[in-house]
Structures are given as C-alpha cells and as structure tokens.
C-alpha cells in the first residue's frame, strides 16, 4: 500500500519534492498557506548539480526553453570594472559537469514544476497552512491553521525559513537578521543600451555592498540583486516595495553598467536577509524538513533553490528504496546534512569577501586582481565552485 505524504509548502522545494515522490508511486498532497499560487521573486541560478535532478524529473527541457544560458561568471571591482576572476560557463560548464548552468525567472520554474505536479495528479490545497503535528502509537496527525486535522504516513516541512514544522519539531527559535538587505528587480532588456549588460553572471563587489545582474527569458529581461549592509530594515517579505531612488543613491558612483541599469529600472523590492545556523536534526520519526526549513541559504553562492532540489531527489530516493520510514529519513539526513551545512557556511563567508569588510578580505581581492592577469584567479575560483557544481546526486544514488 502506498504511503500518504503531506508536504507543507508549495514553493520550489515543496513542488520539486512532490514531483519526485509522486513519480516514485507515492500519494502526495501539498498544503500551501498562500491563497493563490504564483511564486514571487525574480531570477535564480540553476547550476549543473540542480539540473541533473530536473533532468531526472523530465522537466529540464522545459526549463531550458524558458531560461538563459550565461557565458561566464565574472567578479569585478565596483568602480573600475577590474576583473577579479572569470569562470567559463556555457559549453564549458556543460562539457565539464554534463549539465547546463542556467538563469531562470523564479516564476517560470515554479510554473513548470506546478504543471508537472498537476499532470501527475498531485493534490494541492491553497490557503491551508500547516501549523504543527503530533505523533503517537496510532500514527501521525497534522494540524492546519484552520483547525482541521489530517492523518498521513509522512509529513515533509518545505515551508521556508519560518517553518512551522521545524518549530514543532525543534522548538520555536527565531531566524537571525544578518544586518544585510537585498534589493531586487527586473528590467526589460530593450530599455537598456545594447550591449550594456554582458551575457554573464555579473558580480560587482564594493565596500559594504555588492551587485549581481544577469539575463532571464532568453535575454528579454535583466534581473538584478543588490545587497547592502544596513540595520534599519528587517522586513522579510519578498514583495515589499523598495524606493528606486534610494537604491540608485545607494549605488551612486558605481560602474556605469550598474548605474545605467538602475537608471532604467522603474521599481524594485527590498527584503531583509535572515539566517539560521546549520541544524543537527532534520527528522522526527515520520516527519522530515527540506530546503530553507532546515538550511536557509544566503544568496552568496546562488545555491538556495539548488539545495532544495537536491534534497527532494534524495528524500524520494530513500523513501522508495527503504521499507522502514525512519531508516529512510535517517539516510536522507545523513547524506544531505554535511553538504548543505558546508554550502551554508561558504555562502556566509562570501558576504565578507564581496563587501570588502576587513583588511584581510581586501587583501584577498588585491591578490585575486594580481593573479587574474595570468589566469590563476580564474583557476582558483573554478576550483572553489567545482565541488558544488560537479556534484551529481542522481548518479550517486542510482
């Protein structure tokens, strides 16, 4: 008899898990607190490690059709444009890692996963927040915020950094404000001078802030994310309007590729960056956490979505191959915990480097700048990214 699985959260992690599980023969129901679906946010980066999973779930071709394939990842000085490193992507990444590196609009990826879930008859319930759960000898009972209770064989908490499932499992602990905020926005490419934005993952680093830009939707849109150290804004919402003039002032004096992009931007959003330390426990009998609910990622390695996508494949694999649920969940946690913890901490360290936040970090950038002229900085950067991008969870588990 197939296990009945409830997933809390219909974001990218929750839908990817639903798709991976239903394809393994499980009965899956997703409960989402929002009254309507339509993933907020703008662009995200899908590195090869994530694309291996999307290929296995038969949605990679649809993703490629909606995405943009960047030529390189380039880090530059905020004023002079001096290159610190260039890591080739495009054909080089595809040949090296056996999968593409892509940029995609978050809403496009969400829509692709949602359509795939609906075709597989995943049951999706909106305006229904999972509040908590109880377990005893009779089984697992899940409480919804509406007061309704559900009975299921397994609960997966894919309900984000403010996860109620995590709070029920481990106790209520607030996420920590990092002292950084992120501005984001999207600009139509035809509103910009031709050739202004290079077809790369563009990273500009400067004192106390950094700026990222890249194309979406085959080059029709330009996405930007601007991170600034500041303590007077702690709203976590992704759809909180920001003041575009304030953003322009914040990056005044930066390279023209940044300032001209912001000059053409009509609106932006602003959200505070919160973090949690890596957890030691993701599971509790018949309950497991996934994605930001157990390892929220700061956006300094562009691996938040990728880690949730990897989680979904591992969880579905072990639940399908192990007869005992607790054994399956322990195997899932054991496989994923060290990798996600390492990447969580790596993303934190990048914040200091990107923001030139100490003499040591400034010295590192000076060294990188010197090495770039002989290509050594490119090799160093690629070597740091290889363990992330070269990881193929599908190959590892099959």
**Which positions are annotated as active-site residues?**
214
Task: Check the CA dihedral 319-325-327-333 and report its sign.
Answer: positive
C-alpha distances in Å from residue 245, one per residue of 214, 266, 267:
21, 9, 9
Long-range contacts of 112-119 (CB under 8 A, 24+ apart): 112/59, 112/62, 112/63, 112/66, 113/12, 113/15, 113/16, 113/19, 113/59, 114/10, 114/15, 114/37, 116/19, 116/57, 116/58, 116/59, 117/15, 117/18, 117/19, 117/22, 117/30
Classify burial at 84, counting beta carbons within 10 Å of its beta carbon; exposed 0-12, middle 13-18, buried 19 or more: buried
Residues whose CB falls within 8 Å of the CB of residue 153, separated by 6 or more in sequence, listed in order? 3, 4, 5, 139, 140, 286, 325
What does DSSP assign to residue 356?
T
Structural tokens at position 366: 């000076």
Strand segments, DSSP code E, in 32-88 are 43-46, 72-77, 83-88
* 365 neighbors 320 (Cβ within 8 angstroms): no
Strand segments, DSSP code E, in the chain are 4-8, 27-31, 43-46, 72-77, 83-88, 102-105, 123-125, 130-136, 139-144, 149-152, 154-157, 176-188, 201-206, 209-216, 221-229, 241-242, 268-275, 283-284, 287-289
């Amino acid at each position: 008899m197939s296990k009945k699985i409830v997933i809390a959260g219909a974001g990218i992690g929750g839908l990817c898990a639903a798709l991976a599980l239903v394809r393994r023969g499980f009965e899956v129901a997703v409960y989402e607190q929002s009254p309507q679906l339509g993933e907020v946010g703008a662009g995200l980066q899908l590195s090869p490690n994530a694309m291996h999973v999307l290929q296995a779930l038969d949605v990679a071709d649809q993703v490629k059709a909606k995405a943009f394939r960047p030529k390189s990842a380039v880090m530059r000085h905020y004023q002079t444009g001096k290159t610190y490193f260039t890591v080739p992507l495009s054909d080089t990444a595809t040949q090296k890692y056996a999968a593409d590196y892509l940029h995609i609009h978050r809403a496009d990826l969400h829509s692709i996963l949602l359509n795939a879930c609906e075709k597989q008859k995943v049951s999706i319930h909106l305006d229904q927040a999972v509040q908590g759960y109880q377990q005893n000898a009779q089984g697992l009972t899940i409480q919804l915020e509406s007061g309704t209770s559900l009975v299921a064989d397994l609960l997966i908490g894919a309900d984000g950094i403010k996860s109620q499932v995590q709070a029920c499992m481990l106790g209520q602990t607030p996420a920590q404000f990092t002292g950084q905020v992120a501005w984001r926005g999207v600009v139509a490419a035809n509103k910009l001078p031709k050739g202004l934005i290079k077809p790369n993952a563009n990273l500009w680093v400067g004192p106390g802030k950094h700026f990222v830009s890249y194309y979406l939707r085959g080059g029709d849109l330009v996405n930007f994310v601007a991170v600034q150290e500041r303590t007077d804004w702690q709203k976590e919402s992704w759809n909180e309007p920001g003041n575009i003039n304030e953003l322009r002032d914040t990056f005044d004096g930066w390279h023209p590729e940044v300032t001209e992009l912001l000059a053409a931007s009509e609106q932006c959003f602003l959200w505070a960056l919160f973090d949690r330390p890596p957890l030691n426990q993701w599971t509790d009998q018949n309950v497991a956490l996934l994605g930001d609910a157990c390892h929220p990622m700061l956006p300094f390695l562009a691996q938040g979505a990728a880690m949730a996508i990897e989680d979904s494949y591992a969880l579905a694999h072990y639940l399908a191959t192990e007869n005992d649920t607790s054994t399956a969940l322990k195997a899932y946690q054991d496989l994923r915990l060290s990798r996600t913890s390492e990447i969580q901490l790596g993303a934190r360290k990048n914040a200091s480097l990107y923001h030139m936040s100490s003499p040591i970090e400034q010295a590192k950038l000076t060294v990188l700048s010197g090495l770039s002229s002989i290509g050594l900085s490119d090799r160093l950067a690629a070597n740091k990214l290889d363990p992330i991008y070269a990881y193929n969870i599908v190959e590892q588990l099959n």
